[in-house]
Amino acid sequence: MRLAIIVAKAENNVIGRGCALPWHLSSDLKHFRRLTFGKPVIMGRKTFQSMGKPLVGRDNIVVTRDPDFHAEGITVVNDIEQAMQRGKEFARERMVDEIMVIGGGEIYRAVLDKAKRIYLTEVHARPEGDTFFPEIDPKTWRETLRRHHYAGPRDDYNFSLVVLVRPNGDD
């Protein structure tokens, strides 16, 4: 069972501003949906609240320290270890081989050392933001795919889709 991160980050590692994405990339949102559909997704409470509702076609696992937080259509857990355990259970039930971590910044930091793959959208911009993706150590990750995309009619910026794997991972 592979733990994978999926993230869109700018050249300055910005991933968010004011509990929202600092760009609109319709093409990347379609890519995100394709990669995560049918798989368990792990996210923090703020990420879930920024979306406003559970992602359809995915088991939504929300990590929060707030014992009173509940929402329809999600599984609430108290820490990342519980999230990964529930993710494994959902993945086995659905017969999928990946658990997807979709944010935010604190959750990414908590799982970066545990992840085997990163689906990275490099946004070719340097927007201001208040949430950042941790630095990726190039000694720890090997790039296996890179595709450049020019901004489409509903995209704010050009971007590149990149896949990173751990050299000693199960790929």
CATH, residue 93: 3.40.430.10
To which residue do tokens 């990342």 refer? 80
Distance CA 72, CA 29 (A): 23
Whether residue 169 has a cis bond before it, omega within 30° of 0: no
* Domain-located, residue 170: no
* Domain-located, residue 19: yes
Structural domain containing residue 59: 2-165
Kindly report the number of other CB atoms within 10 A of residue 64's CB atom.
18
Instruction: Note the pLDDT of residue 170.
Output: 53
Q: Residue 9, SS3?
A: strand
Instruction: Note the pLDDT of residue 164.
Output: 98
Distance CA 105, CA 109 (A): 6
Distance CA 22, CA 128 (A): 8
* Domain-located, residue 171: no
List the pLDDT tens digit at each of the 171 positions of the chain: 999 999 999 999 999 999 999 999 999 999 999 999 999 999 999 999 999 999 999 999 999 999 999 999 999 999 999 999 999 999 999 999 999 999 999 999 999 999 999 999 999 999 999 999 999 999 999 999 999 999 999 999 999 999 999 987 555
Number of domain units in the chain: 1
